[in-house]
Amino acid sequence: MSINQFVASCINVVLLISASGLFIVCLFFLIECTAALFAKASTRGADRKNAKVTVLVPAHNEEIVIGSTLKTLTSALKEQDRLVVIADNCSDATAQIARTMGATVIERQNLEQRGKGYALDYGLQFIESDPPDVVVIVDADCTVYPGAIEQLTQCAIATQRPVQATYLMLRPKNSQSSKDFVSQFSNIVRNLVRPHGLARLGMSCPLLGTGMAFPWSVIRSVSLANGHLLEDLKLGLDLTIAGHRPVFCPEAKVTGYLPQQSQAAKSQRTRWEHGHLQIMQSYVPTLLKEAVYQKRFDLLVSILDLCVPPLSLLVVIWLGLMAMTLLFAVLGVSWIPAAIVATAGLCFLMTIMTAWAKFARQDLPLLQLLSVPFYVLWKIPVYLKFLVKPQSVWVRTQRDKI
């Protein structure tokens, strides 16, 4: 074998492995979203009777929005329940507003340990002397729909597992920006379609940061004290590894709004995207090791779900690999990798159209999908930044008034 043939053979092997990996991810993505078409309504949970619920609301400088959030929560609680706001490193009127709304407020000042995980751990330590039966976590900038707290509580009691509500990020009011339409669609796929599909497949649901309920023994089985960019995703994986697989409760609904300001939107997306990539790097080996050690197939599924990157990044990866495989095919290397990548692209396209037709037709006009290439271009600097200087410190997204 000549040197040129050896090099061509090595290139072909690398391209085959890369193309096959992309195909597996896109095929799983298709299976996941197709399963969502056959999702069933979750069965009604057990009547909680006299079960005690504590709602924890971590808040960092949320004076603009926290009043609206607490108003929806106080009306949903029963006499034996508690509403606890963790005013974390606040320098505004968050604590005062929360107290006037009837919440129990605890204040935390620690500029070295910053992030939602540390705030939640502080809140759990505060209530552990008189622990509730169920802990519900709600972000300070959300709208909690009527009945959501009760539905989450009932489901947590019935299953004795973590529970995730439907959590959707809506585009800003009156916004007609194509970027906002596509961002909302991406959120629908991530937070609604894929959890529906995983639930239908009998697998664990990712935790999304708000609208989460936990039996007390479950939430205390893992540590929340961390400053990870996506502490919610990390928490869900830690609980899954520990044997407490989160379940999806689609009837319970919580919503928030995408940021109106461009810089705030970019900051939020950077945190989400970099956090997801960091979780992939650290948890894929851990999940693989635990899947073998515990002999659990569901952890392998969690790996596949985790390896589905943000949609725009998946598009970038597909375009880059498609161009590369075509180039080397023209230069004399095998056409097989290019065919595999093209098939992966077909799976991805089918997935997007399926998700749009079933779950986003009312929110996203079909013509708005044509703006996806521009949305991808907007996101490329976020991914390049990850290669050069990945974000490692939690940064709060600037709020807009609800």
Please give the share of the chain, as a percent, with pLDDT higher than 70: 85
In this prediction, residue 377 carries a pLDDT of 64
CB proximity list for 164: less than 8 A, separation 6 or greater:
195, 205, 206, 207, 208, 211, 212, 236, 246, 247, 248, 249
Q: Does position 130 have pLDDT exceeding 60, yes or no?
A: yes
Q: What is the pLDDT of residues 60-105, one digit of tens each?
A: 999 998 999 999 899 889 889 999 999 999 999 999 999 999 999 9
SS3 assignment, position 322: helix
Q: Which residue has the higher pLDDT, 43 or 230?
A: 230
pLDDT band for position 334 (50/70/90)? confident
Structure tokens that stand for 119 in this block = 């705030």
pLDDT band for position 259 (50/70/90)? confident
Round to whole Å and give the CA distance between 180 and 258. 8
Q: Does position 271 have pLDDT exceeding 90, yes or no?
A: no
Q: Does position 267 have pLDDT exceeding 80, yes or no?
A: no
pLDDT band for position 386 (50/70/90)? low
Residue 234: name the closest of 144, 121, 69 by CA. 121
Round to whole Å and give the CA distance between 112 and 100. 29
In this prediction, residue 345 carries a pLDDT of 94
Round to whole Å and give the CA distance between 390 and 271. 9
* Mean pLDDT over each residue of the chain, to the nearest integer: 86
CB proximity list for 225: less than 8 A, separation 6 or greater:
113, 117, 118, 121
Q: What is the pTM of this model?
A: 0.88
pLDDT band for position 2 (50/70/90)? low
> Where are the domain boundaries for CATH 3.90.550.10 in the chain?
53-275
Q: Does position 333 have pLDDT exceeding 90, yes or no?
A: no
Q: Does position 273 have pLDDT exceeding 80, yes or no?
A: no
Q: Does position 370 have pLDDT exceeding 80, yes or no?
A: no
| Burial zone of 84 (CB within 10 Å; 0-12 exposed, 13-18 middle, 19+ buried) | buried
**CATH fold for domain 53-275:** Spore Coat Polysaccharide Biosynthesis Protein SpsA; Chain A (3.90.550)
Round to whole Å and give the CA distance between 256 and 179. 17
In this prediction, residue 297 carries a pLDDT of 93
